[in-house]
Amino acid sequence: MRNPWAQTGNYRTSYEQDTTIFATYREIASVVALLVALLVLPQLLERSQVLTLNFILIYAIAVLGLNITTGYAGLISVGQAAFMGVGAYTVALTAPYLPFYLTIPLGAAVAAAFGAIVGIPSLRVKHLYLALATLAFQEIFVWTVGRMPALAQGASIPVEMRNFLGYEIGFRNHNHFWYYVILFTLVLMVIAWRNLLRGKYGRALVAVRDNDRAADAMGMDPGRTKLMAFALGALYAGVAGGLLAYFQRSVVIEEFTLAKSVGFLAMAIVGGLGTVVGSLLGPAFIEYLQLSMERFSEWIKGSQAIQQIIPPGVDVASALLPLSFGLVIVLFLMFEPRGLYNWWRLVRSYFRTWPFKY
């Protein structure tokens, strides 16, 4: 009798079985273990650490969306933050009247509609020119919001939610409550992502990315597929934006600028394009980088010896963040274009047959 826990490959014997994601008990167990760890984690952390964690998970949802548009369909989008903003502002406007489990899907739907519209240039232009079209949307979004009195001209709009089904959400448990909401949403979005992309839709997106002429000959409409890629990517961004609005208790335009869009692209690349694991690792890595750079610049400010070297009037701290950010992206593109996902893959394949070499 073979031991299913010692299984190192797959024992699939039917086409139904071959459609499943996990081949071994150990793979399922590791996912369950990860989920349990994520459920317990906030209980062991301080409020400020949960705050960082929340940002990472929200960004992970947005990056998942970007991984559909850019990772799967190969359409470079530098408007992901703007789509996130569409979701957030929809939530900000509807939150006084509707509960959050309605406003967030509504925000996602509106963002998806915007995504489909912004995707229209993709029917004609490709590559960098398309990226410019999304860049234009990003800038138009920020400009428009900044001039709309209904949206407080980009200043803070409060989004209040004080209790949920009788459960009081105050200053002390705010971060923890939203952590679980965000985690639950993220899990749902990951499952949907995986299921959607392993079927015909995922194949259509890849086909259009690799060779849209051949995709056309295979009976898929490249135009519709591209629009769908944009709409789906924006949908994920909309969900992330809605969650961000509730979690931050306000919507401000600074959260949805070009810098954020580029940041999402960086997260997707550093994590590894087109993968779930990459969508989680990328945001975690970039956020951690930001945190440690902030800590590092604090240390520089406190250190007398270094302060003497630096000429007066130069603020090293504010230069460090973009510098490290750019350096990391360049290094990843040069030495590990497949991103952190590839490291994770190597480690995993090593442990598959561990402790044996082969």
Where does this chain bind other proteins (CB under 8 A)? 15-16, 18-19, 191-192, 195-196, 199-201, 203-204, 206-207, 210-211, 213-222
Q: Are 146 and 207 in contact (CB under 8 A)?
A: no
State the pairing for strand pair 167-168/250-251: unpaired
Provide the token pair at 240: 């992330």
Least distance (Å) between residue 186 CB and other proteins = 15
- The residues pairing with 163 across neighbouring beta strands, listed in sequence order, are 168
Q: Judged by CB, which is closer to other proteins: 210, or 254? A: 210
Question: Which position has the token pair 């006084």?
Answer: 96
Q: How far is the CB of 99 from other proteins (least distance, A)?
A: 23
Q: How many residues does the chain have?
A: 358
Which helix (H) or strand (E) segment holds residue 250: the answer is: strand 250-251
Residue 123 or 323 with smaller CB distance to other proteins: 123
Provide the token pair at 154: 């980009």
Beta bridge partners of 158: 250
Between CA 135 and CA 125 the distance in angstroms is 14
Nearer to other proteins, 176 or 203 (CB): 203
Closer Cβ to other proteins, 95 or 215, answer by number: 215
**Nearest distance in Å: CB 203, other proteins:** 5
Q: Give whole-number Cα distances, 200 to 17, 18, 43, 64, in Å.
A: 17, 15, 41, 18
Report, in Å, the least distance between residue 279 CB and other proteins: 17
CB-wise, 45 or 196, nearer to other proteins? Answer: 196
Q: From the CB of 163, what's the least distance to other proteins, in Å? A: 31
- Closer to other proteins by CB, 207 or 284: give it: 207
The neighbouring-strand residues paired with 164 are 167
**Nearest distance, CB of residue 249 and other proteins, angstroms:** 31
CA distance 195 to 201: 10
For residue 119, which of 237, 1, 255 has the smallest C-alpha distance? 237
Helix, strand, or coil here: 168?
Answer: strand
Judged by CB, which is closer to other proteins: 92, or 207? 207
What tokens appear for 238 in the block?
Answer: 């909309």
H or E stretch at 163: strand 163-164
Q: Is 130 helix (H, G, I), strand (E, B) or coil?
A: helix
Using the minimum distance from each CB to other proteins, give the nearer residue, 200 or 295.
Answer: 200
Confirm if 237 and 119 have CB atoms less than 8 A apart. no
DSSP-derived 3-state class of residue 160: coil
CA atoms of 121 and 186, how far apart (whole Å): 30
Give the nearest distance from C-beta 240 to other proteins in angstroms: 18
Give whichever of 160 and 221 is closer to other proteins, judged by the CB atom: 221
